[in-house]
Amino acid sequence: MSTRDEKQSMKPPKVLIPEIKLQARVKELASEIARDVQGKEVVAICILKGSFVFFSDVIRHLDMPLSCEFLGLSSYGNKMVSSGEVKVTLDLNDPIEGKHVIVFEDIVDTGLTLTYILQSLAARRPASIKTCALLMKPSSLKVEIEPDYVGFRIGNEFVVGYGIDMAGKQRGLPYIGYIEHDH
């Protein structure tokens, strides 16, 4: 490997949120969700691909009637910054009309993707929609949006791990790490 970018991508990420802290917060989020949707049948929607680890960990802590759906979206491609353009790569299998929906997102960066998701799902007339984001970058928001549940608020670090990738790599890390930029 000869280019600086290739060498950069080989550096191991620095730990931003350790595994033990992630798992503790996942349990807290599941408790908050369970309390808020008590007695309702819920459709949990995982936004692919980045949310799948977070999603599976949270739903394993939810002891309630629950069905799972998956929505594939992309706004990063292979870049380190959101393009702001959302591409649907996989749609829901079942209708959500009249159902209580919780959307699980890995990271709210610009807010544009989550805004798109909420508008798209609202058009399908669910009984309610709540949002749960593992990470939120408040200083990067381009639209005013606040998820109902937020795991961690972070700065503008480019994060990887726990399902979140960089160009398809480093999803399997058990922690949230960040990639340092060479200046």
Tokens (6 digits) for 36: 């808020």
Domain boundaries, the chain: 4-177
Reported as a single tens digit per residue, the pLDDT across 130-156 is: 999 999 999 999 999 999 999 999 999
> Which one is the CATH code of 4-177: 3.30.1360.30, 3.40.50.2020, 3.30.70.20, 1.10.3720.10?
3.40.50.2020
Tokens (6 digits) for 121: 């799902």
Report how far residue 171's alpha carbon sits from residue 162's, in angstroms, rounded to the nearest whole number: 6
pLDDT along the chain (183 residues), means of 10: 48 93 98 94 94 97 94 69 72 95 96 93 97 96 96 95 92 94 61
CA distances from 29 to 33, 36, 131, 134, 150 (A): 6, 11, 11, 9, 8
Report how far residue 66's alpha carbon sits from residue 59's, in angstroms, rounded to the nearest whole number: 8
Please give the pLDDT value at position 74.
74
Contacts of 82 (CB under 8 A, 6+ apart): 75, 76, 109, 110, 112, 113
What residues are annotated to the active site? Answer: 109
pTM above 0.85, yes or no: yes
Reported as a single tens digit per residue, the pLDDT across 49-58 is: 999 999 999 9
